[in-house]
Structure 1
Amino acid sequence: MDDGTWVDPAGTTEITFGKLLERYKGSVTQTKRSRRSEECRIGKIMRNKIAEYSMRNLTTSILAEYRDQRLKEASNSCVCRELATISAVITHAQREWGLNINNPAKLVKKPRLPPGRNRMLKPAELERLLHELNAERHELRSKWLVPLAKLALETAMRQGELLSLLWKHVDFEERTAYLPMTKNGKDRYVPLSSAAIAIFESLERVDERVIPISQNVVLCAWPRACKRAGIEDFHFHDLRHMATSNLAKKLPNVIELASVTGHSNVQMLKRYYHVSASELSRKLG
């Protein structure tokens, strides 16, 4: 108490969980690259009755009830992310804000995550999709959608990485594209195939960005094109799965493949690499 470091446990436990969420959203979430998705997630949690509980009364059983309720409305993956956010907020309050509170979220059983997506387009489906992307009503948008999809297939780059790629970071001599910031917080150089180089060379330079459209344009145009092409349950991110599987045929070395795709570990890479039993049988001879 003389040093001014003592904290009254009774006082800290009376703080509501909603107050912690609000403070975390305003001070920590704003520093993250994924702040938009986390802001949305925290907003949903704050609208739930668990935000009204004090930290003294927020127990594992209450969070388990929250989990079960959310599983009726959302997917297992979504609920797992929400529980992870709840745990992160409380842990941050313990470590950084000096609050003497428990973290009941650590004891809550997480829902089982579904297996990784394995949606691969057949050549005819891909051709129909590219045709419909090119036929998008807004001409200024459609001219960028097809090269965006083709680059995703050739480089295995994420949508956000492609939309933020600058011309000054494309090196035609070294055949690389530099990404100063990726999803895992690290930079990386992406090697470019001859087909990828040809796509870059065919693009008009109208902006400092290679693909000068916003993510909202893709979000709006993609489902419309898939519907017109008669393709169901296919996301833009599935192109990354297709690209990784195609690259694996050229780069059997897992370390080399991971350096191209930007995966930080083999387990995550495994979720993106899909090979059929018939392909493996042909390799066996």
Structure 2
Amino acid sequence: MASIRFRSNKWQARVSRKGEQSLVSTFQSKEDAERWARSIEVEWDRGTYTNTHQAQKTNFGELIERYLREVTPTMRGVKEDTIRLKAILRKPIAKVNTLLLNSSRIAQYRDERLKEVSAGTVIRELAYFSSIINQARREWGINIANPVLLVRKPPSPQGRNRILTYEEEQKLLHACEPKANRNIYTRPFVILALETAMRRGELLGLKWANIDIHKRTAFILLTKNGESRTVPLSTRAIETLQGLPRSIDGRVLPINFAALETNFKRARDRAELLDLRIHDLRHTAVTRLAGKLPNLIELSAVTGHKSLSMLKRYYHPNPEQLAKKIA
């Protein structure tokens, strides 16, 4: 039922119905108030009404903050996701009301960010936006459209194919030799990454309790793809592990992400391998393992790739070696 009254030089319309939240809005004319009230009642009758009251009171930054509190802690990449989302909170788009968060504003954000960061970073941030908005729509009762779905994403950057040569490996390991102001775990990390093809996070989370020296295996309980796997250890990997001191917290490499990143970059610069990244070690390891494990099923069991298409992104065979195979 609708009621119209004149209040404070404006016409106020109130629409009420059992089972629905009462709605109130003000207008300059009585006709506009009546028209609005009728439209709400018609939408209620048809079951097409969308309540945007909560959305009107919420800006995008508030959605991000709630996502950080309730959703991010349940994700495996909680640390990196938290850092990235908090950075977005400092952007002007965080102050935009959710009802005004349309495709035009998202596209503007995309174009501005492309001037500052890579296309890959922008694609990741747009994925965050979409995930946050969908969470708000589905579970928080905030009725807004997802404008990200209408925005063209930047072309995906070409995958890296940087492979470390054996000569470069020796230079890098020499630059990682523990000396004053150098972390003793950087060099073992590099060797284990090259020998096992394990991801950075998997190596940093590896514990002595999950290593069986006699069976020459390392068990990874939680991987990026959500499945556990057992990684075989080469003789070199075993020797490296046996030379490590035992940490009180049970980790094989008790060094955090930031410290590893800093120490690796310094070693890389000393070795004059300025284009090298930590993740390139995994590319190198997969390529080397492919020569020893030509069976792709066996190779994927070691590397943890769930599909051939994903494995192909990391596998970069030497054309000269392939030529010898078909000679």
Bigger drift between 263-272 and 198-207 goes to 198-207
Distance 1:204 1:85, change over 3 A: same
User: Aligned residue for 1:205?
Assistant: 246
User: Aligned residue for 1:265?
Assistant: 307
Long gaps (5+) in structure 2: 1-16, 22-43
Say whether residues 1:193 and 2:234 are aligned partners. Answer: yes
Given that 1:9 and 1:101 are in contact with CA atoms closer than 8 Å, whether structure 2 keeps it comes out as no
User: Aligned residue for 2:81?
Assistant: 38
**Displacement after TM superposition at 1:22 (Å):** 1.6
Say whether residues 1:12 and 2:71 are aligned partners. Answer: no
Given that 1:12 and 1:101 are in contact with CA atoms closer than 8 Å, whether structure 2 keeps it comes out as no
Q: Which structure 2 residues correspond to residues 234-253 of structure 1 after superposition, within 5 A?
A: 234-253=276-295
RMSD: 2.0
Partners in 1 of 2:118 and 2:134 — Cα distance?
25
**Displacement after TM superposition at 1:283 (Å):** 1.4
Q: Which has the larger radius of gyration?
A: 2
**Displacement after TM superposition at 1:51 (Å):** 2.0
Distance 1:36 1:205, change over 3 A: closer
Given that 2:137 and 2:143 are in contact with CA atoms closer than 8 Å, whether structure 1 keeps it comes out as yes
Partners in 1 of 2:218 and 2:224 — Cα distance?
16
Given that 1:119 and 1:234 are in contact with CA atoms closer than 8 Å, whether structure 2 keeps it comes out as yes
Q: Aligned partner of 1:124: which letter?
A: E
* CA displacement, residues 174-223 of structure 1 (integer Å, 9 cap, x when unaligned): 22101111222222111122332232233333442222333333222111
Given that 1:83 and 1:105 are in contact with CA atoms closer than 8 Å, whether structure 2 keeps it comes out as yes
Given that 1:136 and 1:221 are in contact with CA atoms closer than 8 Å, whether structure 2 keeps it comes out as no
Say whether residues 1:275 and 2:317 are aligned partners. Answer: yes
Partners in 2 of 1:213 and 1:17 — Cα distance?
35
Bigger drift between 197-206 and 159-168 goes to 197-206
**Displacement after TM superposition at 1:84 (Å):** 0.2
Bigger drift between 83-92 and 216-225 goes to 216-225
Q: Aligned partner of 2:172: which letter?
A: L
Partners in 1 of 2:255 and 2:143 — Cα distance?
47
Long gaps (5+) in structure 1: none
**Residue in structure 2 matching 1:177, options 215, 218, 224:** 218
Bigger drift between 146-155 and 184-193 goes to 184-193
Question: Match of 1:134, SS?
Answer: coil
Given that 2:199 and 2:282 are in contact with CA atoms closer than 8 Å, whether structure 1 keeps it comes out as yes
**Residue in structure 1 matching 2:264, options 219, 222, 228:** 222
* CA displacement, residues 79-102 of structure 1 (integer Å, 9 cap, x when unaligned): 001000000000011111122211
Given that 1:136 and 1:225 are in contact with CA atoms closer than 8 Å, whether structure 2 keeps it comes out as no
Q: Aligned partner of 1:205: which letter?
A: R
Question: Match of 2:314, SS?
Answer: coil
Q: Aligned partner of 1:84: which letter?
A: A
Given that 1:176 and 1:191 are in contact with CA atoms closer than 8 Å, whether structure 2 keeps it comes out as yes
* Greater RCO structure (CA 8 Å; 6+ sep): 1
**Displacement after TM superposition at 1:135 (Å):** 4.6
Partners in 2 of 1:18 and 1:274 — Cα distance?
42
**Displacement after TM superposition at 1:170 (Å):** 0.6
**Residue in structure 2 matching 1:166, options 207, 221, 226:** 207
Q: Aligned partner of 2:210: which letter?
A: H
Say whether residues 1:82 and 2:125 are aligned partners. Answer: yes
Given that 1:165 and 1:211 are in contact with CA atoms closer than 8 Å, whether structure 2 keeps it comes out as yes
Given that 1:18 and 1:51 are in contact with CA atoms closer than 8 Å, whether structure 2 keeps it comes out as yes
Say whether residues 1:21 and 2:21 are aligned partners. Answer: no
**Displacement after TM superposition at 1:12 (Å):** 3.1
**Displacement after TM superposition at 1:244 (Å):** 0.2
Identity %: 45
Distance 1:52 1:176, change over 3 A: same
User: Aligned residue for 1:106?
Assistant: 149
Q: How many residues align?
A: 283
Structure 1 or 2: larger strand share?
2
**Displacement after TM superposition at 1:279 (Å):** 2.2
Distance 1:257 1:57, change over 3 A: same
